[in-house]
Amino acid sequence: MSISSNPQPLECFLSKLGPLEAILFDVDGTLCDSDPIHFFAVRELLQKIGFNDGIPITEEFSLKNMVGKNIEEIALALFPEWNHEKVMKFFDDKDSLFRRLAPEQLKEINGLSKFCKWIADRGLKRAAVTNSPRPNAELMISCVGLSDFFQEVVIGDECERSKPYPDPYLTALRRLKASPGHTLIFEDTATGIRAGVAAGMPVIGVVGRSSDKKSLIEAGAKFLIEDYEDPKLWIALQELDKGALNMSWKGSI
């Protein structure tokens, strides 16, 4: 299923959410292009411990075994014999290396600042919802200049269950006091999309370097965009603005 094969234009779909109340974002790969930094950090640490006889892992290996997965799933694929303590030590070290590299290397997804200004200008509620550890999430949000933008930052491990379960997104809805029928989610992985769909909200898939369009659609994404400069998105937002203006005029008559 391709984007163009969807019989309903994005603007028609978004109009059904009006009045739009809230926007929820994943962080890794959705707000910022963090995958290359994560990949470098994991590859370096795996080489240090002699994984795969010291042969560096490839991006294809990372996509298959790590991207979009939680720690338990990754550990099962990479270190099935390791105990919990050893697994957590490895990922703590990886996250420490990631945080050292991120401030100089992390870049926002194209068009993010423009889109966030659109959201803020209209007074929409907003939250970041991620499976990343809080120190990572808060650093990434800071690196793209959005520390004061988000009203809530929901961490999967701080909920009863993390993505792909709906708990993090349901937590964000509750904290924002927003309705699922008037809230939109942006995600870049099948895991996150399944979480949003399970929480009863429509999800737009952001096609990043690690995204597979087919898997995003199969996970339940209503539409896909290349980034936040995608013309389809801005046509839809302009239509939303027109609809809000028309409602305002009707209310004043």
Give 68's contacts (C-beta < 8 A, 6+ positions apart).
Answer: 189, 190, 191, 192, 210
How much is the CA Rg of the chain, to the nearest whole Å? 19
Task: Give burial (CB, 10 Å; 0-12/13-18/19+) of 72.
Answer: exposed
Q: Where in the chain is the domain with CATH 1.10.150?
A: 35-105
- pLDDT: which is higher, 169 or 11: 169
* Least-confidence region, from 44-53, 167-176, 235-244: 235-244
Query: Higher pLDDT residue, 238 or 137?
Result: 137
Q: pLDDT tier at 80 (50, 70, 90 boundaries)?
A: very high
Architecture of domain 35-105: Orthogonal Bundle (1.10)
Backbone torsion region of residue 50, taken as left when φ is above 0, otherwise alpha when ψ lies between -120 and 50, otherwise beta: left
Residue ranges of the chain assigned to CATH 3.40.50.1000: 10-33+107-252
Instruction: For residue 244, name the pLDDT band (cuts at 50, 70, 90).
Output: low
Q: Verify whether residue 28 is a known catalytic residue.
A: yes
The per-residue pLDDT for range 150-207, each reduced to its tens digit, is: 999 999 999 999 999 999 999 999 999 999 999 999 999 999 999 999 999 999 999 9
- The catalytic residue among 28, 33, 167, 188 is 28
Q: What is the pTM of this model?
A: 0.88
CA dihedral 208, 37, 133, 179 (to 10 degrees): -20
- Give yes or no for residue 12 having a pLDDT over 90: no
Q: Quote the percentage of the chain above a pLDDT of 70.
A: 92
**Spatial separation of the C-alpha atoms in residues 82 and 25, rounded to whole Å:** 33
How far is it, in rounded angstroms, from Cα 39 to Cα 210? 11
pLDDT of residue 245: 45
Burial of 177 (0-12, 13-18, 19+ CB in 10 A): exposed
Q: Give me the CATH topology for the region 10-33+107-252.
A: Rossmann fold (3.40.50)
Q: How much is the pLDDT for 1?
A: 38
List the catalytic residue out of 26, 33, 167, 188.
26
| 112 has pLDDT over 90 | yes
